[in-house]
Amino acid sequence: MIVIRLNEQQFEYDIHSLVKAFYPAEEVKVFEKETRDFSSAEGMPEGQVIFEEEKITFILETKKEKNKEAETLREDNDKIVEFVYLEKGEERASVKCKLKHLLYSVLCTYTKRELPWGNLTGIRPTKIAYGLLEEGKNHEEAVVYLQEVYDCSEEKALLSIDIAERERQILSKLHYEDGYSLYLGIPFCPTTCLYCSFTSYPIGLWKKRVGEYLDAMEKEIDFVSELYKDKILDTVYIGGGTPTTLEPEELRRLLSYVREKFDFSTVCEFTVEAGRADSITREKLLVLKEMGVTRISVNPQTMKEETLKIIGRRHTVEEVKEAFALAREVGFTNINMDLILGLPGETMEDVTNTMEEIKMLNPDSLTVHSLAIKRASKMNQWIEENGIETLRNTEKTMEIADKAARAINMKPYYLYRQKNMAGNLENVGYATEGNYGIYNILIMEEKQTIVAIGAGTISKRVYPDGRIERCDNVKDVEQYMDRIQEMIERKRKLYEE
């Protein structure tokens, strides 16, 4: 365990995230100095952050450990003391920026390594880059800013600016103030994957009650369609879970109801995550096509058979290929595939093989995820039993994926990061021209209101001044169905003000 003590409660989240980025395998505790009597484990650093009116000081030293030969305590511990000056009355955002730069500098010196994203701990680097371009900065100025303020590598700064510029072009035709996007969540899957923390329940346990779930969704749909009847609907996204766990007639019921209640004449993208190969059939794909779905996902995560078994996906690589071919045969011309780098035991050779398989399939877009270890996933138990060292992702493996995507004429168009990502890297979406996932950009850049329907979904209202407010639906399916009127009232409160 690594302990960081503060003399007052400030910026605990950012401090924790940054230290954790340097020490992903260690438990990190951040708390006010007098509240807990914990110490770092032997050999692990222990830190102290001292906030004063005129400066912030960061002290980092290794906890004393026994000398194996002399059986005495070392007294020559590594110790670094650095500080940064504050201006009188400096705003909180500026103070946080200086603090993170200070912590990053000390941790780099202490560990003798740097992070690709520097001191950035948020999940939306391109949102910063987007803002810099909106302010009128050119590419060179924006890159320098990301390097100097956030300690980003030149490579990541350039990637952020490149994607932000592409996002601006893609979103330029959308309706920010008088429009919105719609998300519908289907919280069922064939099985729950090892790494998953989304709202997801095995469809086998709920198969007889899917109709009840759709009943509840339809009540939400009725409310939203009436409330937003004068607004312009830009994109519709049905995710999960795995929407194609529904039977063909259940999919037709949901999609036809949505099309009946909302004006689709302005919709520029209608996405359904077909997701797992073991949930895809010709009949389901035909329903999606009939209902006007323009974009689907067929998500293998890896093309290594052994890994698929480890992560709990009950389909084979061959079934992924068959599902993809079936989607092409039915007529889908915008198919996305999701991959995860850093899965248990996978090597650079495995990633190279996966990318070669993907290139042969030639999808229209590709989302490359760097494995994020979520607290709510089964992955934590797996790590306890097998060790975190088998989860490897590096800039080299990300480069392998990047080169493969560009080899089939794809460009990066959206990017986001998550806590506890393997290699402290990122998730990148690639696509061929005209096949960019618009909803994916919207959810990251937070430029437009998104109304979300279904268990475990989160609605987001974006105000003209940039302020954002949210409301969520309960995750438990039973609770969602029983409390559907409460879910509707939450939306009424958020959207009618």
Q: Say how far apart CA 162 and CA 165 lie, in whole Å.
A: 5
Helix, strand and coil in the chain, % to nearest 5: 45, 20, 35
Q: What single DSSP character describes residue 421?
A: B
Q: Say how far apart CA 258 and CA 220 lie, in whole Å.
A: 11
Q: pLDDT (tens digit, 9 = 90+) per residue, 126-179? A: 999 999 999 999 999 999 999 999 999 999 999 999 999 999 999 999 998 899
Q: How many CB atoms lie within 10 A of CB 377?
A: 17
pLDDT at 388: 67
Q: CB–CB of 68/90 below 8 Å? A: no
Angle at Cα 47 formed by Cα 42 and Cα 51, nearest 5°?
A: 165
Q: What single DSSP character describes residue 194?
A: T
pTM of the complete model: 0.88
Smallest CA-to-CA distance from 431 within 422, 440, 423 is with 440
Q: Say how far apart CA 241 and CA 322 lie, in whole Å.
A: 21
Q: Domains (ranges, CATH) in the chain?
A: 2-113 (3.30.160), 173-490 (3.30.750.200)
Q: pLDDT (tens digit, 9 = 90+) per residue, 242-285? A: 999 999 999 999 999 999 999 999 999 999 998 889 999 999 99
Smallest CA-to-CA distance from 375 within 188, 195, 242, 124 is with 195
C-alpha distance from residue 351 to each of 10, 101, 142, 359, 387 (Å): 41, 34, 32, 12, 20
Smallest CA-to-CA distance from 204 within 245, 253, 241 is with 245
In the predicted model, is pLDDT for residue 399 greater than 70?
A: yes
User: Is the previous residue joined to 89 through a cis bond, with omega within 30 degrees of 0?
Assistant: no
Burial of 89 (0-12, 13-18, 19+ CB in 10 A): exposed
Smallest CA-to-CA distance from 336 within 417, 257, 435, 261 is with 435
Q: Give the residue-averaged pLDDT of 377-394.
A: 68
Smallest CA-to-CA distance from 473 within 484, 462, 465 is with 484
Q: Give the residue-averaged pLDDT of 15-40.
A: 85
User: Mean of the per-residue pLDDT values for the chain?
Assistant: 90
In the chain, pLDDT over 90 holds for what percent of residues? 73
First to last CA, the chain: 46
Higher-pLDDT residue of 55 and 190 is: 55
| Distant-in-sequence, close-in-space partners of 178: CB < 8 Å, separation ≥ 6 | 231, 232
Higher-pLDDT residue of 104 and 66 is: 104
Find how far residue 11's CA is from the centre of its chain: 22
The H-assigned helical ranges of 121-209 are 125-134, 139-150, 154-171, 203-206
pLDDT at 75: 45
Q: Say how far apart CA 302 and CA 109 lie, in whole Å.
A: 36
Burial of 281 (0-12, 13-18, 19+ CB in 10 A): middle
Q: Say how far apart CA 376 and CA 102 lie, in whole Å.
A: 31
Q: pLDDT (tens digit, 9 = 90+) per residue, 311-361? A: 777 889 999 999 999 999 999 999 999 999 988 888 999 999 999 999 999
